[in-house]
Amino acid sequence: MNPSIASPASPEQALLPLGRILAPASIAIVGASADPRSFGGFVLDNLERFGYAGAVHLVSRSSTEINGRPCVKTVDALPQGIDLAVLAIPEAGVLDAVRGLAARGTHAAVLFASGYAEAGETGRVKQEELARVARDSGILLLGPNCMGFTNFEVGVPVTFEPLAPQPAAGRAGVGVVAQSGAMAANVRDALSGRGLPLTAVVSTGNEAVLGLEDVLAHYIADAQTRVIAVYAEQVRRPQTFLRLARQAREAGKPVVMLMPGRSARAREAAQSHTGALAGDHATASAALAREAVVLVDSLDELFDAAAILLRFPVPPSGGPAFMTGSGAMKNIALDFCDALDLDLPALGEQTTARLQAMLPAYAVAENPLDYTTISVRQPGLVGELLLAMLADDNIGSIVLSIPAGPTVAQRDKAEHIVPALARAEKPAVLVVTGDAGPIEPFFVDAIRASGVPFFRSPDRALRALRRVTAYGEALQRARRANQVDPVAVALPAPRPPSGVFAEYQGKAWLAAAGVAVPAGGLAQSVEDAATIAASLGYPVVIKAQASELPHKSDVGGVIIGLGDEAALRAGWQQLQDNVARHRPGLRLDGVLVEKMGERGLELVVGARRDAGWGPVVLVGLGGIWIEALEDVRLLPADLAEEDIVTELGRLKAASLLRGIRGAAAVDVRAIARVVALIGTQMRANPAILEIDVNPLLAYPDRVLALDALVVCAAPQA
């Protein structure tokens, strides 16, 4: 399946109710077969195994009865008003079947067949026709090219995989939605293998009618769904998805999402560095993170973060503690957390004193904690240490990493350590090291009964907690989001015919918005340039100005370091000759003459508007280094200044901001203000597509925008 090429529905169409498809009172299997290994046979077998109590109708050309159930030959013979039809037939017969079902007043349908948009242009046309017929008929269509769904809450398995019922009634669980049927099954099996309840699992396939967003809305409204796990290759209705993610955040329902595509080549953007670096996946990730979607990088992280958040839906407000009885494991944890950029907070003085009173004199009361060999004689003391660490306000969660050990040690851990973990009110995770080494069944049973998230790898546990910790941080950022009303501070931008501002125009607009730019003026002649330079004081820089010339340096359109009038006049001629040679016939608006700025730290600040996801801003190391290092942070356009400061500290080159090798620290707050100003103007001006300030020079007491590119949507003719 390749849903990324499937034909999308209208961009932000109304959400569709899923009651009659996920909890149908009656089901028709179109393409029922006595062959138990056929798609229709698997569906019928699943329904019977789950004890589905609703009416089941079978449509089969070759059989008169299956498993004692009568069959009809065509959909025309079905009763009126069936809730759900399962289309277990080849693509060639689907359209006629849907038309027949529409005539019988069928409310919803699940379509397994492939051969639609994933198969190329011919398939796309077929899918568009199928979607049109379904919509016009009021049929809620799931698929095509999907594996159906299983609603564990009410026991409705409409899929062609053999499934066993799971006790879900009355238990809060995970709702799964995936565009890939294989991934839906993968997540289902991984979570159910851990004994975690599932409310429903839905595979949306090509999403001709029903999509991720419709299922997400259902899970948000469903009282039993506590965590939502999503696998998405393409979000077709980004603004709807973001609105629903916001609702999930406000409802306290974590959305854990795996979205491949980071390695795909970013969309080509000829105008700016910002456009080149803010690729589709990066832009979507920044927008989703704004709504506290838990974005993960792997299936393991999807399984693990969902498992922790199901047990602890209130995320931590600080980094984790790590406990072990091994000095070697303590050192490994230190290195691994450093590589993950996962902070291990220092313990408070009271906690340190409390731990020291319980530990041997040779143990160090710190985070990570090596409690040495005390568990051999006093297994209950490990639980007391754990709860003492969790009581520290600095600690947001905890990982306890222990070996399985001999049977007697496992009995001690089951009876003393697991109950302590189960009492934890903050996220608490148990790691039993030893990879696939055996664990006694009574120990496994105790862990499962406790509901404590359980791992065999400290690496996986810490990776998952990094995501869970980031979720807590994202919730706090959302509460601190820039509350400035963009309409109140909107600075409407003039729209040049080409949509691209010349530098002097872009700088004038940015200056009016509050961004400092160098003193200067636009010259139409060398005499104008000399007058402007004399008023500014030498040295000066001159730059060719035209909206058709966004990258002036590429054509020799920038001359720097002109120290007197003679140098200015020579530089003027050189600039004119360079432009004429590289861009013959180009008419300049003029030449910008500016006072040469002092050397400072070069940064880039930019913004980009994605047609689906909206605006994001970018900040990082600028000048020539942006292309060499790509050391940037992509941020939501409404991020609060204090959070922008935090993101600046996460740059690889953050030490440059603080000052190294005798250099003074730069004004990080001033940088953050520029980022916030640009984000606010992007929110306020839908016509602005891109802004690229490169470089933004940072000094100990100020910042200065040396170059600026602003791109708007060209005015409509």
Give the tens place of pLDDT for each residue, 347-372. 999 999 999 999 999 999 999 999 99
pLDDT of residue 158: 97
pLDDT of residue 11: 55
Taken in order 336, 340, 341, 344, is the CA torsion positive or negative? negative
Chain-wide mean pLDDT for the chain? 91
Mean pLDDT of 617-641: 84
Give residue-wise pLDDT tens across range 447-465.
999 999 999 999 999 999 9
Alpha-carbon gap, residue 258 to 255, rounded angstroms: 10
Taking a C-beta distance cutoff of 8 angstroms, is the pair 663, 631 a contact?
no
pLDDT of residue 628: 62
Closest listed residue to residue 114, CA positions, set 181, 35, 16, 161: 181
Residue 500 DSSP symbol: B
pLDDT of residue 465: 96
- The residues near 227 (Cβ < 8 Å, ≥ 6 apart) are 173, 174, 175, 253, 254, 255, 256, 306, 309, 310, 313
pLDDT of residue 6: 38
pLDDT of residue 602: 93
Give residue-wise pLDDT tens across range 542-593.
999 999 998 899 999 999 999 999 999 999 999 999 999 999 999 999 999 9
Alpha-carbon gap, residue 399 to 315, rounded angstroms: 15
Alpha-carbon gap, residue 640 to 642, rounded angstroms: 6
In the chain, the largest separation of any two C-alpha atoms, in whole Å, equals 102
pLDDT of residue 623: 67
Alpha-carbon gap, residue 275 to 270, rounded angstroms: 8
The whole-model pTM stands at 0.90
Taking a C-beta distance cutoff of 8 angstroms, is the pair 593, 520 a contact?
yes
Higher pLDDT, 637 or 171: 637
- The secondary structure of 126-162, three-state, reads HHHHHHHHHHHHCCEEECCCCCCEEECCCCEEECCCC
Please say if the pLDDT value at position 520 is more than 60.
yes
Buried b / exposed e along 466-488 (16+ C-beta atoms within 10 A)? bbbbbbbbbbebbeeebebebee
Residue 416 DSSP symbol: I
Closest listed residue to residue 102, CA positions, set 132, 124, 73: 132
Please say if the pLDDT value at position 4 is more than 60.
no
Give, for 17, the enclosing helix (H) or strand (E): none
Taking a C-beta distance cutoff of 8 angstroms, is the pair 493, 609 a contact?
no
- The residues near 463 (Cβ < 8 Å, ≥ 6 apart) are 300, 301, 304, 340
Please say if the pLDDT value at position 274 is more than 50.
no
